[in-house]
Amino acid sequence: MAKQVAIVAVAQNAGAESKDNFYDQAYAVTKEVLDKAGLTRDEIGTVVSASSDVFHGGISCANSYYWETTGAFLKNASRQDGESLFALFYGAMRIMSGHYDTALIIGLCKGSENPPNDTCTLMYADPFYQRGVGLTETMAAAFQMRLYMERYGITEEQCAKVAVKNLGNGLRNPYAHKKGRYTVDDILRSERLIDPLTALQVAPKSEGMVALILASAKKAKEIAAKPVWIKGFGSSLDSYYLGDRDLLNGQLKNAADRAYKMAGITDPEKKIDVAEITEPYAFQELMWYEGLGFCGEGEGGRLIDSGFTEMNGQIPVNPSGGVLANNPYVSRGLQRVVEAVLQIRGEAGERQVSKTVKMALAHGTHGYAGQCHAVAILGR
C-alpha cells in the first residue's frame, strides 16, 4: 500500500489498576493524543473506538457511555467490538475513502473493574452445549497447547521461555502490568491452572486506554515530523466450533498473508524488524511465529531457543512484554500498534530494540484458540 494513511500520534496508559474511573482514564488518553498531534478536538474528522459490552465493560452499548469523553460529540463516529485492531482498520478505511483527513482511534478497557478474563470468555461459548461444560478461552488454549506439543514435539520448557522473555522485557516498560525476572523453572512451577498451562504463562487482566491519531498523506505531511505509515492490514475469522477447526492451522496465516500482500512483503522473516504480537498464552507466541512466517511449521520452539526473537535477535518479538505483561483484553491489539509505532520512531525508551526499525508488525487475536486474527504492517 502506498503512503495513504499515517499514524501521527500515540498514547496509552499504564496497565496496573488505577483509581481513576473509566471515564477519566479515557479522557486523559484522548487529551494526551490530541496534544501530541497538536490538534484540537474540532480538527478531528472522525472517531472510531473499540470496546466490548457488559462483560468487558460493565455496561451495555458501552460506546453510549464514553461517547463524549473520547471526543466524539457531534462527530461521525463508530465503534468496533472485540478486537481493537478493527478500529485501526476502520479508521484507515474512512480516510482512504476520501471522506476524512484525520481520525482518532481509541481502544477502551478497564480490566480492574471487569470480572476475571474467563468469566467473560465463557460468554463466547454457545449457551446450549459448551457453556455448560465450562469452555473458556483458557481451556481452549490448553487443548491447543497439548495438541501443539504432541504434534511437533514442542516442550513445556520452550513454551515457558516465552514467559521468561516477555515478563523480563516488561521490566523495561513503564506501562507493563505484570513483569519480573523469572527462570523457566519458576514459570513451570507456578500454579497449574488448566493442564498444561501454568499461571505465569497466562496473561493478566489490565487497564488499557490506547489512542492514536491517523492522518491522510496530505495532512500527515502538514502536521507530523515522524509519520508512521500503515503499509498493510488484514484479518481472518475461523469457524466457531473447536471440533470443526484445525487448531494448529488457523487463520493467522490468512490474516498475515493479506497484510503482507498489501505491504508488498514476500519474505517477512527478512523484512520485519520488530513484532508486537498478542500472546495471551505463552505457547501461542511460538505458534504465531509460524503463522506469521518467521519460521516453518512446528519450528516455533527452535526459533525461541535460537534467540531469534529476543531483544537483540533478528526479529525481537514483544519488546514491550507483550500481552503476558499487559492485557487490556479489548484494547491489547491497538496497544501492539502503539508499541510498534514507538519502535519505528525510536521512542520506546528502555525497551527500544538496538537494531534500526524500518518495518514493524502488530498482531491481535481474540476468541477460542485464536478464532480471529488481525495483522497490521507499519513502516517509515
Partner 1 sequence: MGRPVAIIGVGQTKHGRRMDVSYPDLVREAVMAVFNETGLTPDDIDGVVSGTMPSMMEGIALTHFYFADAMQAAGKPIMKTETCGSTGVSIAHTAYYWVASGMADLVLAVGHEKMNEGNSQATMTTVAEPFYQRYFISGAPGVFSMQSQMWMDRYAIPEEKIRDAAAFISVTHHDSAFDNPYAHIKMRVTMDEVKNARIITYPVRLLDVCPNSDGACAVIFASKDMVKKLGRKPAWIRGVGYRGEEYFFGDSDKVVWESAIQAAKQAYDQAGIKNPRKELDVAEVYNPFTFQEMLFYECFGFCEPGESPDLVLKGTFSRKGELPCDPSGGTLCTNPIGATGLIRVAEAALQVTGKAGDHQVPKAKLALSHAMGGVDQFNGIMILGSKL
Site for partner 1 in 280-319 (CB under 8 A): none
Identify which of residues 91 and 301 has a Cβ nearer to partner 1 in the complex.
91
Under the binding rule (CB under 8 A), the answer on residue 112 touching partner 1 is no
Under the binding rule (CB under 8 A), the answer on residue 76 touching partner 1 is yes
Indicate which single residue of 25, 30, 34, 89 sits in contact with partner 1 (rule: CB under 8 A): 89
Q: How far is the CB of 116 from partner 1 (least distance, A)?
A: 14
Q: How far is the CB of 306 from partner 1 (least distance, A)?
A: 32
Identify which of residues 235 and 284 has a Cβ nearer to partner 1 in the complex.
235
Identify which of residues 98 and 191 has a Cβ nearer to partner 1 in the complex.
98
Q: How far is the CB of 138 from partner 1 (least distance, A)?
A: 15
Indicate which single residue of 15, 71, 82, 316 sits in contact with partner 1 (rule: CB under 8 A): 82
Indicate which single residue of 372, 376, 377, 378 sits in contact with partner 1 (rule: CB under 8 A): 372
In the Cβ-directed half-sphere of 36, how many Cα atoms lie within 13 Å? Answer: 19
Indicate which single residue of 74, 191, 195, 312 sits in contact with partner 1 (rule: CB under 8 A): 74
Distance CA 103, CA 45 (A): 6
Under the binding rule (CB under 8 A), the answer on residue 65 touching partner 1 is yes
Under the binding rule (CB under 8 A), the answer on residue 110 touching partner 1 is no
Under the binding rule (CB under 8 A), the answer on residue 55 touching partner 1 is yes
Q: How far is the CB of 103 from partner 1 (least distance, A)?
A: 11
Under the binding rule (CB under 8 A), the answer on residue 73 touching partner 1 is yes
Count of residues touching partner 1 (by CB under 8 A): 62
Q: Which residues of 54-93 are buried (b: 16+ CB within 10 A; e: fewer)?
A: ebbbeeeebbebbbebbbbeebebebbbbbbbbbbbbbbe
Residues in the chain: 380
Q: How far is the CB of 122 from partner 1 (least distance, A)?
A: 9
Site for partner 1 in 228-267 (CB under 8 A): 234-240, 244, 251, 254-255, 258
Under the binding rule (CB under 8 A), the answer on residue 20 touching partner 1 is no
Under the binding rule (CB under 8 A), the answer on residue 278 touching partner 1 is no
Identify which of residues 81 and 269 has a Cβ nearer to partner 1 in the complex.
81
Contact residues: partner 1, CB under 8 A: 52-56, 58-68, 72-83, 86, 89-90, 92-99, 120, 123-127, 234-240, 244, 251, 254-255, 258, 366-368, 371-372
